[in-house]
């Protein structure tokens, strides 16, 4: 069988280069930055080290609760009764009183602005009857999202043996929040909350210092140190940066900003094809159609060094002749990319539709065509 190659102008691909050297002067214990669109890493240090996540835990609490709201199991306007345990819980608080009724909306704000443990306990008790039952759901979601170094023992992030996560896992969780709940991101960008006459300020200093930052959460305990998961958008680019185990608030802020600046200044993330968009139509024999379109089942992104897109080269490679039947999703070729003559890899192209086998006369005619071509 012959190989057929087709030139193709390239503007993007789901590909990552080697993780960059760390930005100068990083002081935190672990960190990572990723591209939001592709999930690929841009810089990392001890990214899989299991560490106490402090109130970054509440990003998973929020993920589960926002899922409940999306499924209409909870509503933002719904009033929840504060359980007695919430009045006694340790950690940051907004001083809820047992028996009070507070809206889900206000409780989410209290959790994400103030890391309020009493708000967390009120929300999770209403959702699942107990914190333990809710935590079991948090761990199931962590497993589903591929957070391999994460185990939650509570929903607040208070220090507890075995309660741990990693920079890489928290980056993936942050990416999932941005991807799955884009219409709820205002909760994570909120700078302050006025509740019962008291103004609570978000400890994420980058919400004031960098207008491109739109979340997600910071935390601190004695064991965890100062921690942050920071989302930022500049133009059409979006990045997630995680810092764990910084020694001071200033170090956490500076390290997160360095990661974000490095990620935006050194890399471009662009989309080449939408899911289901045709990359190439190839000739097909013995089918009900004489051609089949090839493409990608999911959006296809490229992560490349900044400014290098014009130096990319690509070709489509297919095995010929292509014969029916064809099943949608069946691999039928590949997209081969190079940058400055160096290979980036071959990426599978799949059939975008089913094509059945033609009748006996059509098959006979195509057999003759194959003999002479």
How confident is the model at residue 366, as a pLDDT? 53
Copy the structure tokens of residue 295: 């493409």
In whole angstroms, give the CA distance from residue 241 to residue 232. 8
Antiparallel, parallel or unpaired: β 213-221 and 225-234: antiparallel
**How many H-runs (helices) and E-runs (strands) does the chain carry?**
10, 17
For residue 360, what pLDDT is reported? Answer: 63
pLDDT of residue 7: 36
Q: Are 40 and 155 in contact (CB under 8 A)?
A: no
Pairing of strands 267-273, 278-283: unpaired
Instruction: Look up residue 331 and give its two tokens.
Output: 């691999």
Q: What angle do CA 255, 202, 76 make, to 5 degrees?
A: 125
Question: How many alpha carbons lie under 13 Å from residue 130 in its C-beta half-sphere?
Answer: 4
pTM for this predicted structure = 0.86
Which conformational region is residue 67 in: left (phi greater than 0), alpha (psi within -120 to 50 degrees), or beta? alpha
pLDDT average per 10 residues of sequence, the chain (373 residues): 38 45 84 94 96 98 98 97 96 97 98 98 98 98 98 97 98 98 97 97 97 97 97 95 98 96 90 90 90 93 84 88 92 92 90 86 52 55
The distance in angstroms from the start CA to the end CA of the chain is 12
Alpha-carbon distance 269 to 266, whole Å?
Answer: 10
Strands (E), the chain: 2-7, 30-35, 41-45, 79-81, 101-103, 192-195, 198-201, 213-221, 225-234, 237-246, 267-273, 278-283, 291-295, 300-305, 312-320, 331-339, 342-351
Mutual angle of helices 58-70 and 167-180, in 10-degree steps: 20
Task: Tokens for 372, please give them.
Answer: 């002479």
Distance CA 131, CA 152 (A): 11
Query: Cis ω on the peptide bond leading into residue 147 (within 30° of 0)?
Result: no
pLDDT of residue 312: 85
Can you list the domains of the chain with their CATH numbers?
A: 30-267 (3.40.710.10), 274-372 (2.60.410.10)
Whether residue 260 contacts residue 210, with contact meaning beta carbons closer than 8 Å, is answered with yes
pLDDT recorded at residue 16: 44
Predicted pLDDT of residue 160:
96
Contacts 24+ apart (CB under 8 A), 345-351: 345/15, 346/317, 347/13, 347/14, 347/15, 347/296, 347/300, 349/279, 349/280, 349/294, 349/295, 349/296, 349/316, 349/318, 350/294, 350/295, 350/296, 350/297, 351/292, 351/293, 351/294, 351/326, 351/327
- The pLDDT score that the predictor gives to residue 359 is 66
């Amino acid at each position: 069988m012959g190989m057929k190659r087709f030139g193709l102008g390239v503007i993007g691909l789901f590909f990552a280069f080697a993780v960059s050297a760390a930005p100068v002067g990083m002081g935190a214990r672990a960190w990572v930055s990723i591209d939001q669109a592709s999930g690929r890493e841009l810089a990392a240090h001890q990214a899989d080290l299991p560490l106490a996540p402090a109130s970054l835990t509440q990003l998973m609490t929020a993920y589960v609760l926002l899922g409940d709201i999306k499924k209409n199991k909870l509503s933002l306007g719904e009033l929840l009764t504060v359980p007695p345990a919430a009045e006694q819980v340790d950690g940051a608080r907004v001083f809820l009183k047992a028996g009070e009724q507070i809206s889900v909306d206000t409780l989410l704000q209290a959790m994400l602005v103030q890391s309020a443990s009493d708000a967390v306990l009120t929300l999770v008790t209403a959702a699942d009857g107990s914190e333990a039952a809710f935590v079991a759901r948090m761990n199931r979601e962590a497993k589903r999202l591929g957070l391999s170094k994460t185990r939650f023992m509570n929903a607040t992030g208070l220090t507890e043996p075995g309660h741990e996560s990693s920079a890489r896992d928290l980056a993936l969780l942050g990416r999932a929040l941005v991807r799955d709940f884009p219409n709820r991101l205002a909760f994570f960008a909120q700078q302050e909350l006025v509740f019962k006459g008291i103004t609570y300020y978000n400890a994420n200093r980058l919400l004031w210092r960098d207008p491109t930052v739109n979340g997600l959460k910071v935390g601190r305990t004695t064991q965890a140190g100062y921690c942050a998961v920071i989302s930022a958008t500049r133009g059409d680019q979006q990045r997630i940066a995680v810092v764990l185990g910084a020694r001071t608030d200033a170090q956490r802020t500076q390290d997160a900003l360095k990661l974000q600046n490095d990620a935006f200044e050194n890399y471009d993330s662009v989309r080449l094809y939408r899911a289901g968009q045709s990359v190439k139509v190839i000739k097909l024999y013995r089918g009900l159609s004489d051609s089949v379109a090839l493409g990608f089942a999911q959006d296809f992104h490229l992560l490349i060094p900044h400014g290098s897109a014009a130096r990319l080269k690509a070709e489509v490679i297919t095995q010929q002749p292509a014969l029916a039947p064809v099943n949608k999703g069946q691999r039928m070729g590949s997209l081969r990319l190079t940058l400055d003559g160096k290979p980036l890899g071959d990426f599978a192209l799949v059939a975008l539709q089913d094509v059945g086998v033609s009748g006996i006369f059509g098959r006979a005619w195509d057999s003759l065509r194959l003999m002479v071509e």
